[in-house]
Chains A and B, each alone.
Chain A
Amino acid sequence: DIVMTQSPDSLAVSLGERATINCKTSQSILYSSNNKNYLAWYQQKPGQPPKLLIHWASTRESGVPDRFSGSGSGTDFALTISSVQAEDVAVYYCQEYYSTPLYTFGQGTKLEIK
């Protein structure tokens, strides 16, 4: 089974500053036949369901602000918020789908405003 480890567990960032959340997988989730990384990122605000932000590690969903970006390959990935806004306070999760049709989430990273 693929183990997903996010870091940090929580972070506090000032408004307008950059935030980076990391996700490490226990094995490569880069599928060689299509050169795609099987990773998604979600945002979950209190009392709401998760919202998909990014899939294929770096493809942003329609309507997601461009301050959100995904990067990385193989086993090391990052979600970056270039200029944190108050509405970005949430818990962020990575999810691998390399094991499709079975899936695993990271434990989550809580983003707060400093």
Chain B
Amino acid sequence: EVQLVESGGGLVQPGGSLRLSCVASGFTFSSYWMSWVRQAPGKGLEWVANIKQDGSEKHYVDSVKGRFTISRDNAKNSLFLQINSLRVEDTAVYYCARDEMWLIHGGQGTLVTVSS
């Protein structure tokens, strides 16, 4: 069973930064692309970023390019999202997901709130 535990969210002021983490278990982490997906309060799902198995390819939705950085540590079964220059519109629950083109979610997400 895919288990993903996200952490690192919190309340931050506009312009601030956070580093989100996701620890994976129940599958061979290093064999899969991984993605981050977010959901603003009361809104729909938005794919944010993904990363190839060895970290050699990374892709982002246009709205976060230059501000968000995805990375991974296969030795620690961990996925990260460094989010800088935060905007009010980045307020959302952030989920990590195993990326097989379709997305396998396994955690409750971590809430990022951007507010002054």
**A contacts, CB < 8 Å to B:** 38, 40, 42, 44, 48-52, 55, 91, 93, 95, 97, 100-108
User: Can you offer 30 A-B residue contacts whose CB atoms are under 8 A?
Assistant: A40-B102, A44-B45, A48-B108, A49-B95, A49-B105, A49-B107, A49-B108, A50-B45, A50-B95, A50-B103, A52-B102, A55-B100, A93-B45, A95-B47, A95-B103, A97-B101, A97-B102, A101-B33, A101-B50, A101-B57, A101-B99, A101-B101, A102-B47, A102-B61, A103-B47, A104-B47, A105-B44, A105-B45, A105-B46, A106-B44
Interface mask (B25-47 → A, CB under 8 Å = 1, otherwise 0) = 00000000101010000001111
**Within the complex, which residue of A49, A55, A102, A103 is in contact with B106, where a contact is CB–CB below 8 Å?**
A49
A106 nearest CB neighbor, chain B only: B44
Q: Specify which chain A residues have a CB less than 8 angstroms from the CB of B109 in the assembled complex.
A: 49
Q: Would you call B67 an interface residue if the criterion is a C-beta within 8 Å of the partner chain's C-beta atoms?
A: no
Q: Would you call B64 an interface residue if the criterion is a C-beta within 8 Å of the partner chain's C-beta atoms?
A: no
Nearest-neighbour CB distance to chain B for A99, whole angstroms, equals 10
Q: Would you call the interface of chain B mostly helix, strand, loop, or mixed?
A: strand
Count chain B residues whose beta carbon lies closer than 8 angstroms to a beta carbon of A: 23
Nearest-neighbour CB distance to chain A for B98, whole angstroms, equals 10
Nearest-neighbour CB distance to chain B for A73, whole angstroms, equals 17
Nearest-neighbour CB distance to chain B for A53, whole angstroms, equals 10
A98 nearest CB neighbor, chain B only: B101
